[in-house]
């Protein structure tokens, strides 16, 4: 009877013992001082939100402590869109500090295509504050695909020239806020004034 009872307990415990051993073998963080298993789970459970393309790299003191790539590599070029606006602002303000341009300079001063198309009076300040007069981005599915600033096959110069030629002003510059196209022309103004590549 005692032997049967011990065998029953052993049989009941075996899945837990082997399950926990298996779990340790499958845990990529068992030898690490960090456990990113909850991050892995979050990414795996939310891949669809990120269109099944995720690349995450975490480093500390110059050492990579976490890396996960799903259908996208860490070094894959990607458009980062609005995530670069803070850097764009810092670069333009550096030129303002160096007195190479003013926020009240007109875009036409640097980009003749805007003057030629009766949009040269828009200021850099208006472009950065999204009060340039251009129509903003709408939140309709697929509506971005026909806008010049979202076409991946155009260079920055081609996109900006296309905006100057083909994108109408829907407001008087400085009169209304409209989030969208405004950030591209200052990038090209930066290239023009600094001689560097834009960000």
Q: Does 186 map to a domain?
A: yes
Same structural domain for residues 61 and 145? no
Which H/E stretch holds residue 58? strand 54-60
Among the candidates 47, 77, 107, a domain finishes at 77
pLDDT confidence tier of residue 144, bands split at 50, 70 and 90: very low
Report pLDDT for 126: 93
Q: Are residues 52 and 127 in the same domain?
A: no
Domain boundary among 77, 112, 141: 77
Number of alpha carbons in the 13 Å side-chain half-sphere of residue 69 = 6
Share of the chain above pLDDT 90, in %: 24
Give yes or no: residues 65 and 156 share one domain.
no
Q: With H, G, I as helix, E, B as strand and everything else as coil, classify residue 26.
A: helix
Q: Judge whether 37 lies within some domain.
A: yes
| Domain, as residue range, for 47 | 27-77
Tell me: pLDDT of 87 over 90.
no
Instruction: Please tell me the predicted confidence (pLDDT) of residue 20.
Output: 39
Higher pLDDT, residue 191 or 98: 98
Answer with the one of 62, 77, 92 that is the final residue of a domain: 77
Residue 102: pLDDT band with limits 50, 70, 90:
very high
Residues 93, 188: contact at Cβ < 8 Å? no
The verdict on residue 7 lying in a domain is no
Q: Are residues 55 and 108 in the same domain?
A: no
Minimal CA–CA distance to 184: which of 167, 151, 147, 159? 159
SS3 content of the chain, % helix, strand, coil (to 5): 50, 10, 40
Whether pTM exceeds 0.75: no
Q: Produce one character per residue of 108-122: b if its CB has 16 or more CB atoms within 10 Å, e if not.
A: bbbbebbbebebbbb
Residue 93 shares a structural domain with residue 183? yes
Question: Total structural domains in the chain?
Answer: 2
Using pLDDT thresholds of 50, 70 and 90, give the confidence band for residue 141. very low
Q: CA geometry: angle at 163 spanning 160 and 168, to 5°? A: 160
Q: Find all residues with CB under 8 Å of 92, minimum gap 6, and list them.
A: 101, 103, 124, 128, 186, 189, 190
Asked if residue 64 and residue 150 are part of one domain, the reply reads no
**Average of per-residue pLDDT across 97-103:** 91
- In a domain, residue 151? The reply is yes
Residue 167 belongs to some domain of the structure: yes
Position 82 pLDDT exceeds 50: yes
Q: Are residues 65 and 104 in the same domain?
A: no
Residue 22 lies inside a defined structural domain of this protein: no
Q: Are residue 57 and residue 88 in the same domain, yes or no?
A: no
* Same-domain check for residues 140 and 178: yes
Tokens (6 digits) for 47: 């891949």
Q: With the C-alpha atoms ordered 107, 111, 114, 120, is the resulting torsion angle positive or negative?
A: positive
């Amino acid at each position: 009877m005692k032997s049967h009872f011990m065998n029953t307990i052993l049989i009941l415990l075996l899945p837990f013992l082997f399950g926990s051993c298996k779990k340790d073998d499958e845990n990529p963080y068992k030898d690490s001082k960090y456990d990113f298993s909850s991050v892995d789970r979050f990414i795996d459970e939310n891949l669809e939100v990120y269109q099944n393309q995720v690349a995450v790299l975490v480093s500390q003191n110059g050492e990579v402590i976490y890396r996960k790539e799903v259908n996208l590599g860490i070094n894959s070029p990607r458009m980062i869109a609005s995530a670069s606006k803070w850097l764009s602002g810092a670069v333009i303000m550096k030129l303002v500090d160096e007195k190479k341009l003013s926020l009240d300079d007109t875009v036409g001063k640097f980009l003749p295509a805007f003057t030629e198309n009766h949009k040269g009076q828009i200021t850099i300040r208006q472009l950065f504050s999204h009060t340039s007069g251009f129509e903003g981005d709408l939140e309709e599915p697929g509506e971005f695909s026909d806008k010049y600033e979202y076409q991946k096959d155009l260079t920055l110069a081609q996109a900006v020239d296309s905006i100057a030629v083909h994108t109408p002003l829907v407001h008087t510059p400085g009169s209304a806020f409209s989030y969208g196209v405004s950030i591209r022309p200052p990038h090209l103004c930066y290239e023009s004034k600094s001689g560097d590549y834009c960000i």
